[in-house]
């Protein structure tokens, strides 16, 4: 019998506690999900273990796998823990302290001193290179090669393994950066070298330098991880291509990821935003707040008018990152967040997390401090016998003991008040993070639905929504693997940019069209390298625009085709519409500038089917009951299995809905309805 063609597309999202996997079978269109514990000592092993487990459970072999898409927190964790290699910076003479000077923005205007900032390159490893490029790209002073060799000798003798090259105005002319890179690699061929004209060819010296430095320091980290992935895949006999997910939600090859690892900083969470956008449009809910609550963090993203927001600059742990990324606000609040009493006697929750190892106390892996998951178990919201489908027994006595020692006794509280207090604190933090994301855009939470996903989110969603005045909560069919579901439909995406400050006027059209043509050619070349056929390609342009004199820009989609006078008017109209929405005013009399032109090159990897398995209840169990502390008191609460609820079923709260990998809490005054697709909608009863 001839071998069958590969038919399985796999998406894997490795989180801090669990590895989530979802796969789609091209022959049937069915999609299935699975969770397995993350292996922090070797995340690549966790990926292949999850694939092997899925193959055993659902009946496919490594030869059946056509494609693997992988969201990873490797880059993020390396930055958060500062587990980065030693590095150097070569910059223009006189600008060695750009990283230290930073921006003079004051977040707290009444503070007597600024907040501490993390400087990733020590002063002794920041070197000034001779030569100078002007603002228009002209060579103001040639490089003195003899002096440059002296700088490179100092870099080589410093013992660093990575070096960022970021010269003044290199985005306008990279000639000197290229010369320095070539000479440095000739002297130190094993050094990881990143140049700003390749990483972030845009204005704003501090942000460009910080991004280039971060990229250089992440190259060895991602290189090691990619090598481990390849080794693990080879040992498992998996030959299917594997792509990593970027912060913009698109996929990138392993080779490209090693060169631009800074693009991976929001790798996993971006998949959840893509999935939220798709589900919101399918349920005719164009305005939703997507919240992903896992074991360690709580990620908030806004889908407004059916579209997610992509920004051109973000921040991770106080470090600016100037690359396109899905807009998201993250706080340290998840199921593994640790509850404690601080020295002033206040109850606190997070951001410190028990992670995957040791994990919450109830996991029985050596944890000693109570977490949000432990508290949900103590209050009956989780069932020790059915957690993760009954495959993972929980230690209720251990959770109670930790709560008693760490919270009840220090605060002289009884168990119910101590546990409920912890949930009140964490729910307030979750609500505050949503307010931050919406208020910053001038949006009212009451106009939005809350879409809750992640393994821990379902136990908090309705209570958080009620605190915000939100009356509709959407629970995806498989909320605990929802980010993996979004990753499943990621396409290859390359982002290119070119800074050229141009007035929005007809005289700028020749330059504007020349830059656009060059960016399109670069995008097409990258898709050629990815071997994408013409019918699976899309090239779109956008522009960073501002009123003349402003210090910030808005990203505006450009009309298709070659720019003309009509295109310029369309651009102005779109810019002013956005400006009014964001800042409540516009100024038709003020001149408008284009600052940076951006191109997105997309290559479609698969079909556009939803991949959802048709929903039909597969269980006939009648609802059970158990005592649950809900709405401020213990109540005998109905417990439903999701797979026993046919479409159209309405469940009145208070109630518990149990799924294979997560649990949903429906408080009193709420009702939940099962849709035809298996997704669920909870509404606040009028």
Q: Is 485 helix (H, G, I), strand (E, B) or coil?
A: helix
Count the neighbouring beta carbons within 10 Å of the beta carbon of residue 208: 25
Reported as a single tens digit per residue, the pLDDT across 619-664 is 777 789 999 999 999 999 999 999 899 999 999 999 999 988 889 9
Which of 569, 571, 567 minimizes the C-alpha distance to 554?
A: 571
Torsion-angle region of 3 (φ positive above 0: left; ψ -120 to 50: alpha; else: beta): beta
Which pTM was predicted?
0.85
Report the C-alpha dihedral over residues 52, 356, 320, 550, rounded to 10 degrees: 90
Q: Name the residue with higher pLDDT: 24 or 16.
A: 24
Angle (CA) 244-250-254 rounded to 5° is 25
**CA gap 291, 322 in Å, rounded:** 24
Residue 433 corresponds to which tokens in the numbers above? 């993070």
For residue 654, what is the DSSP state? S
Categorize the per-residue pLDDT at 398 as very low, low, confident or very high, splitting at 50, 70 and 90: very high
Is the separation of the CB atoms in 231 and 220 below 8 Å? Answer: no
Show the beta-strand stretches assigned E in 203-317.
242-245, 251-253, 288-293, 298-304, 307-308, 310-311, 314-316
Q: Taking 70 as the threshold, does the pLDDT of residue 16 lie above it?
A: no
* CA 55 to each of CA 64, 483, 649: distance values in angstroms, whole numbers, following the listed order: 9, 20, 33
Which of 271, 300, 315 minimizes the C-alpha distance to 431?
A: 300
* CA 206 to each of CA 211, 319, 495, 593, 618: distance values in angstroms, whole numbers, following the listed order: 9, 10, 21, 22, 57
Reported as a single tens digit per residue, the pLDDT across 316-327 is 877 889 999 888
**pLDDT (0 to 100) of residue 635:** 95
Q: Which CATH number fits domain 8-79+224-264: 2.60.40.10, 3.30.1490.20, 3.30.420.40, 3.40.50.2300?
A: 3.30.420.40
Residue 11 corresponds to which tokens in the numbers above? 């998406």
Reported as a single tens digit per residue, the pLDDT across 446-505 is 999 999 998 889 999 999 999 999 999 999 988 888 889 899 889 999 999 999 999 999
Categorize the per-residue pLDDT at 106 as very low, low, confident or very high, splitting at 50, 70 and 90: confident
For residue 237, what is the DSSP state? T
Residue 63 corresponds to which tokens in the numbers above? 């030869």
Which of 354, 419, 363 minimizes the C-alpha distance to 394?
A: 363
Angle (CA) 660-606-301 rounded to 5° is 55
Count the neighbouring beta carbons within 10 Å of the beta carbon of residue 83: 9
Across residues 511-516, what is the average pLDDT?
Answer: 96
Ranked by mean pLDDT, the top range of 8-17, 347-356, 666-675 is: 666-675
* CA 349 to each of CA 33, 292, 375, 377, 423: distance values in angstroms, whole numbers, following the listed order: 30, 17, 11, 16, 9
The partner residues of 244 in beta bridges, in order of sequence, read 70, 252
* CA 549 to each of CA 144, 573, 592: distance values in angstroms, whole numbers, following the listed order: 36, 19, 9
Q: What are phi and psi of 294, to 5 degrees?
A: -105, -145
Count the neighbouring beta carbons within 10 Å of the beta carbon of residue 237: 11
Show the beta-strand stretches assigned E in 183-268.
192-195, 242-245, 251-253
Reported as a single tens digit per residue, the pLDDT across 261-285 is 999 988 878 888 989 998 998 888 9
Categorize the per-residue pLDDT at 1 as very low, low, confident or very high, splitting at 50, 70 and 90: very low
Q: Is 295 helix (H, G, I), strand (E, B) or coil?
A: coil
Residue 308 corresponds to which tokens in the numbers above? 């997610």
Q: SS3 string of 369-437? A: CCEHHHHHHHCCCCCCCCHHHHCCCCCHHHHHHHHHHHHHHHHCCCHHHHHHHHHHHHHHHHHHHHHHH
Across residues 541-546, what is the average pLDDT?
Answer: 96
**pLDDT (0 to 100) of residue 3:** 47
Categorize the per-residue pLDDT at 612 as very low, low, confident or very high, splitting at 50, 70 and 90: low
Categorize the per-residue pLDDT at 602 as very low, low, confident or very high, splitting at 50, 70 and 90: very high
**pLDDT (0 to 100) of residue 616:** 74
What is the CATH architecture assignment of 492-603?
2-Layer Sandwich (3.30)
Residues contacting residue 565 through CB under 8 Å, at least 6 positions apart: 506, 509
**CA gap 34, 18 in Å, rounded:** 10
> What is the chain's length?
686
Asked if the peptide bond before residue 575 counts as cis, ω within 30 degrees of 0, the response is no
Categorize the per-residue pLDDT at 611 as very low, low, confident or very high, splitting at 50, 70 and 90: very low
Average per-residue pLDDT for the chain? 90
**CA gap 660, 658 in Å, rounded:** 7
Residue 526 corresponds to which tokens in the numbers above? 């990258």
Per the listing, tokens 């009451």 go with: 446
For residue 622, what is the DSSP state? P
Categorize the per-residue pLDDT at 607 as very low, low, confident or very high, splitting at 50, 70 and 90: low
Is the separation of the CB atoms in 29 and 610 below 8 Å? Answer: no
> Within 13 A of 642's CA, how many CA atoms are on the CB side?
27
Per the listing, tokens 């949000």 go with: 372
Residue 626 corresponds to which tokens in the numbers above? 């158990």
Is the separation of the CB atoms in 37 and 53 below 8 Å? Answer: no
Count the neighbouring beta carbons within 10 Å of the beta carbon of residue 7: 15
What one-character-per-residue DSSP string does 97-118 give? THHHH-----SSTT-SSPPP--
**CA gap 138, 132 in Å, rounded:** 9
Reported as a single tens digit per residue, the pLDDT across 202-226 is 999 999 999 999 999 999 999 999 9
Across residues 392-420, what is the average pLDDT?
Answer: 94
**CA gap 23, 32 in Å, rounded:** 6
Report, in angstroms and rounded to the nearest whole number, the Rg of the chain calculated over CA atoms: 26
**pLDDT (0 to 100) of residue 111:** 77
Q: Is 234 helix (H, G, I), strand (E, B) or coil?
A: helix
Reported as a single tens digit per residue, the pLDDT across 136-149 is 899 999 999 999 99
CB neighbour burial string for 56-78, b if at least 16 within 10 angstroms, e if fewer: eeeebebebbbbbbbbbbbbbeb
**CA gap 644, 622 in Å, rounded:** 8
Is the separation of the CB atoms in 420 and 456 below 8 Å? Answer: no
How large a percentage of the chain has pLDDT more than 70? 97
Q: Taking 60 as the threshold, does the pLDDT of residue 230 lie above it?
A: yes
* CA 374 to each of CA 236, 340, 403, 415, 447: distance values in angstroms, whole numbers, following the listed order: 36, 13, 8, 12, 33
Euclidean distance between the first and final Cα of the chain, in Å? 62
Count the neighbouring beta carbons within 10 Å of the beta carbon of residue 146: 8
**CA gap 602, 248 in Å, rounded:** 11
Residue 108 corresponds to which tokens in the numbers above? 């707290």
**pLDDT (0 to 100) of residue 2:** 39
């Amino acid at each position: 019998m001839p071998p069958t063609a590969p038919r399985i597309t796999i998406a894997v999202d490795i989180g801090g506690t669990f590895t989530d996997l979802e796969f789609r079978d091209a022959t049937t269109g069915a999609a299935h999900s699975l969770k397995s514990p993350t292996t922090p000592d070797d995340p690549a092993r966790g990926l292949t273990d999850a694939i092997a487990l899925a193959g055993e459970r659902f009946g496919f072999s490594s030869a059946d796998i056509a494609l693997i898409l992988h969201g990873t927190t490797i880059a993020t964790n390396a930055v958060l823990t500062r587990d980065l290699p030693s590095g150097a910076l070569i910059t223009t003479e006189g600008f060695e302290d750009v990283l230290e000077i930073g921006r003079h923005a004051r977040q707290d205007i009444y503070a007597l001193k600024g907040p501490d900032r993390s400087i990733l390159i020590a002063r002794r490893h920041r070197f000034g290179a001779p030569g100078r490029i002007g603002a228009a790209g002209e060579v103001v002073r040639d490089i003195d090669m003899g002096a440059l060799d002296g700088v490179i000798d100092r870099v080589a003798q410093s013992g660093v393994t990575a070096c960022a090259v970021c010269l003044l105005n290199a985005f306008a002319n990279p000639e000197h950066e290229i010369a320095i890179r070539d000479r440095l690699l000739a002297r130190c061929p094993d050094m990881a070298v990143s140049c700003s004209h390749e990483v972030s060819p845009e204005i704003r010296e501090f942000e460009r330098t910080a991004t280039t430095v971060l990229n250089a320091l992440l190259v060895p980290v991602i290189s090691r991880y990619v090598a481990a992935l390849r080794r693990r895949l080879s040992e498992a006999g998996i030959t299917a291509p594997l792509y990593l997910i970027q912060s913009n939600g698109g996929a990138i090859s392993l080779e490209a990821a090693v060169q631009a690892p800074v693009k991976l900083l929001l790798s996993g969470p971006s998949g959840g935003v893509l999935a939220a956008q798709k589900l919101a449009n399918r349920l005719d809910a164009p305005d939703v707040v997507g919240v992903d609550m896992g074991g360690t963090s709580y990620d908030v993203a806004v889908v407004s008018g059916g579209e997610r927001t992509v920004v051109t600059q973000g921040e991770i742990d106080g470090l600016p990152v100037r690359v396109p990324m899905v807009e998201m606000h993250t706080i340290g609040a998840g199921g593994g967040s640790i509850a404690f009493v601080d020295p002033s006697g206040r109850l606190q929750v997070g951001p410190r997390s028990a992670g995957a190892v040791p994990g919450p106390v109830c996991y029985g892996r050596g944890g000693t401090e109570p977490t949000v998951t432990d508290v949900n178990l103590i209050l009956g919201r989780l069932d020790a016998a059915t957690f993760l489908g009954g495959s993972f027994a929980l230690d209720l006595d251990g959770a109670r003991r930790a709560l008693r020692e760490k919270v009840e006794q220090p605060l002289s509280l009884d168990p119910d008040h101590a546990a409920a207090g912890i949930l009140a604190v964490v729910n307030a933090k979750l609500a505050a993070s949503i307010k931050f994301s919406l208020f910053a855009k001038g949006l009212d939470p009451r106009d939005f639905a809350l879409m809750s996903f992640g393994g821990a989110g379902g136990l908090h969603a309705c209570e958080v929504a009620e605190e915000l005045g939100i009356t509709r909560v959407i629970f995806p069919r498989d909320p605990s693997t929802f980010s993996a579901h979004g990753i499943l439909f990621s396409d290859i995406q390359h982002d290119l940019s070119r800074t050229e400050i141009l007035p929005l006027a007809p005289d700028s059209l020749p330059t504007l069209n020349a830059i656009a043509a060059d960016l399109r050619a670069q995008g097409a070349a990258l898709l050629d390298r990815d071997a994408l056929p013409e019918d699976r390609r899309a090239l779109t342009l956008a522009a960073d625009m501002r009123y003349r004199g402003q210090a910030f820009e808005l990203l505006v989609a450009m009309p298709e085709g070659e720019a003309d006078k009509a295109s310029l008017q369309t651009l102005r109209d779109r810019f002013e519409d956005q400006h009014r929405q964001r800042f409540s005013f516009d100024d038709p009399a003020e001149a408008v500038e284009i600052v940076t032109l951006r191109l997105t090159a997309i290559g479609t990897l698969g079909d556009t089917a939803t991949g959802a398995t048709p929903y039909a209840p597969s269980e006939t169990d009648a609802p059970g009951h158990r005592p649950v502390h809900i709405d401020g008191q213990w109540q005998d609460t109905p417990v439903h299995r999701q797979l026993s609820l046919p479409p159209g079923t309405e469940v009145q709260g208070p109630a518990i809905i149990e799924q294979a990998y997560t649990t949903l809490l429906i408080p009193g005054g709420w009702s939940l309805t099962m849709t035809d697709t298996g997704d669920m909608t909870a509404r606040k009863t009028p």
